[in-house]
């Protein structure tokens, strides 16, 4: 695998090499790895994994400084180490087009798929699995844009024009549905608002009446008003015999006060409110 690692190096690379104390690499292996990389790149910086995870600010000053991150050498990281937290740190310190080479031990079948998902969620593209035992993969950040830059959407205007061309073709072949033909004559009749027809009420004022197919609630209100009214002709008695002539001839306590004149002997419907005292 040292040959594979060497093949990925470029003379202009600025490399971040991350190692883990939990993997217990020996001093000779660490020194050999650094010498191997240092002679083939422009810059090499060594960082400890546990220190990075404990203090993220270690890499804040190195934002977009590196072109390559190598993690999992000289010994592979433990399974699941290359997660969202770690990969997000690496994606921030890589400049556009930067790459990552990661290695960790294999324990679960879905481990490689989880690593690929974590790469995509942290901004990496071109995920490439190299080995499954141990797991080795490479990925890179897009080179076309940097953090905060704009990008043109991939689709073109030609596809949109093609869609409308198909619509025009359908219309030319008379395959389009005429929506006016779907309407019935009854649908074209302007609806009449409920309560437009008016009659004169007992007070001489106009009163709205509910239409036949009332849907606004006026019919329900009229039904409640009719239910509240009671026939009280037996309880209402005229003491003077002039109540039918109108309010001009009615006393202050007349039960017919407020009603229009009526014929003598005509049955009059009074609500309970007319039969109760105001005070």
Binding site per annotation, positions for [2Fe-2S] cluster: 194, 211, 214, 216
Reference 136, options 152, 156, 116; nearest CA is 116
Write out the binding residues for [4Fe-4S] cluster: 240, 243, 251, 254
Instruction: Report the C-alpha gap between 203 and 242 in whole angstroms.
Output: 19
Write out the binding residues: 194, 211, 214, 216, 240, 243, 251, 254
In this structure, the number of other CB atoms found within 10 A of the CB of residue 35 comes to 11
Which residues lie closer than 8 Å to 194 by C-beta, 6 or more apart? 208, 210, 211, 214, 215, 216, 218
CA angle, 73 as apex, 72 and 79 as ends, to 5°? 30
Strands 135-140 and 125-132: antiparallel
Q: What are the Cα distances from residue 72, in Å, to 4, 14, 69, 139?
A: 13, 17, 10, 14
Reference 238, options 265, 203, 258, 260; nearest CA is 265
Long-range pairs for 109-113: beta carbons < 8 A, 24 or more residues apart: 111/79, 111/80, 111/135, 112/137
Instruction: Report the C-alpha gap between 159 and 169 in whole angstroms.
Output: 15
Which residues lie closer than 8 Å to 6 by C-beta, 6 or more apart? 36, 40
């Amino acid at each position: 695998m040292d040959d594979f690692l060497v093949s990925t190096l470029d003379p202009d690379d600025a490399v971040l090499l991350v190692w883990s104390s939990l993997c217990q690499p020996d001093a000779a292996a660490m020194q050999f790895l650094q010498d191997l990389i240092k002679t083939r790149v422009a810059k090499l910086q060594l960082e400890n994994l546990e220190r990075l995870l404990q203090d993220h600010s270690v890499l804040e000053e190195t934002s977009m400084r590196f072109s390559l991150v190598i993690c999992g050498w000289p010994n592979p990281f433990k399974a699941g180490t290359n997660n969202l937290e770690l990969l997000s740190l690496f994606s921030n310190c890589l400049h556009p087009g930067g790459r990552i080479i990661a290695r960790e031990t294999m324990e679960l079948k879905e481990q490689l798929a989880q690593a690929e998902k974590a790469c995509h969620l942290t901004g990496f593209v071109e995920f490439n699995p190299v080995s499954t035992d141990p797991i080795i993969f490479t990925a890179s950040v897009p080179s076309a844009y940097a953090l905060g830059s704009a990008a043109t959407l991939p689709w073109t205007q030609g596809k949109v024009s093609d869609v409308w061309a198909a619509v025009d073709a359908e219309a030319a072949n008379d395959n389009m549905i005429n929506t006016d033909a779907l309407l019935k004559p009854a649908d074209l009749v302007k609806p009449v608002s409920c309560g437009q027809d008016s009659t004169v009420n007992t007070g001489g004022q106009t009163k709205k009446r509910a239409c036949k197919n009332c849907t606004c609630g006026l019919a329900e209100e009229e039904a409640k008003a009719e239910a509240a009214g009671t026939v009280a002709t037996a309880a209402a008695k005229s003491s003077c015999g002039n109540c039918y002539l109108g309010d001009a001839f009615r006393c202050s306590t007349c039960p017919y006060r407020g009603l229009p004149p009526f014929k003598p002997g005509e049955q009059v419907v009074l609500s309970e409110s007319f039969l109760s005292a105001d005070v």
